[in-house]
Amino acid sequence: MEVVVNAATSVDGKLSTRERRQVRISGDADFDRVDRLRASADAVLVGAGTALADDPHLGVKSEDRRVERLRNGRAANPARVVADSRARTPLDATLLNDDAETYLLVSAAAPEDRLTSLRSAGATVIETGAERVDLAAALDALEAEGVGRLLAEGGGELLFSLFEADLVDELSVFVGSLVVGGREAPTLVDGEGFVESFPTLELRNVDRLDDGVVLTYRVA
């Protein structure tokens, strides 16, 4: 499986304000770039925090791209995947509508009644790990379901876990022309952080887009 991480950050690496309030970091050209990335993916992954805070759809916005996917024998939208160790995803979440298949990655600590309700709401549940999702095992299970290219869109805790488990192949970051600040504001990669054996990145492309730049890296 190829795992691509994509995000938009401020110059100081923030995803949103310390209040977890979204700010407009990029513009229409970058939104279209993200739509192309989604159209090329088999599934789009977010963490439970992102699912709870933003109630995202994670689908392809361009009708032409959805039609092209259908012509190629694929679903109109990539599958939605939520890394949700405790099964906190709301039953009325947009991610559970009929626009695409939805996978919930949970741990053995998830309450069984929640899992039953989420399955009834249309989710396919993949259980790995004791207290937290074992991402390597979960991604193996997704690959067995036909997911060959996975686009991970955050948040910072999930992205740290992916890097920590050495699961990331490519990193694409739009850096917008603003400063957010705040020691408690979420960053591109949060979690415990690395103190040694840092992920090794190879810069492949720098592209100016909107009022910012897109940095594309391969991850060694």
Q: Where are the alpha helices (DSSP H) in the chain?
A: 28-40, 48-54, 63-71, 112-120, 135-144, 156-164
Alpha-carbon distance of 69 to 74, in angstroms, equals 5
pLDDT > 90? residue 215: yes
Q: Which two tokens stand for residue 132?
A: 């937290």
What is the four-CA torsion angle of 95, 72, 215, 219, rounded to 10 degrees? Answer: 90
pLDDT > 90? residue 166: yes
Average pLDDT of span 127-155: 97
Alpha-carbon distance of 6 to 212, in angstroms, equals 15
Would you say 63 and 51 are in contact if contact means Cβ atoms under 8 Å apart? no
Q: How many CB atoms lie within 10 A of CB 91?
A: 12
Average pLDDT of span 123-145: 98
Amino acid in the structure at residue 125: V
pTM for this entry: 0.95
Helix 28-40 and helix 63-71, axial crossing angle in degrees, nearest 10: 10
pLDDT > 90? residue 178: yes
Residue (of 14, 38, 7, 15) closest to 168 by Cα position? 7
CA quadruple 204, 44, 154, 83: dihedral positive or negative? negative
Looking at residue 57, what is its pLDDT? 95
pLDDT > 90? residue 154: no
Average pLDDT of span 54-81: 97
Tell me how many degrees the CA angle 103-172-131 measures, rounded to the nearest 5.
Answer: 40
**Average pLDDT, rounded, for the chain:** 96
* All residues at 6 or more sequence positions from 21 whose CB lies less than 8 Å from its CB, including other chains: none
* C-alpha distances in Å from residue 163, one per residue of 11, 19, 28, 106, 194: 21, 25, 29, 19, 10
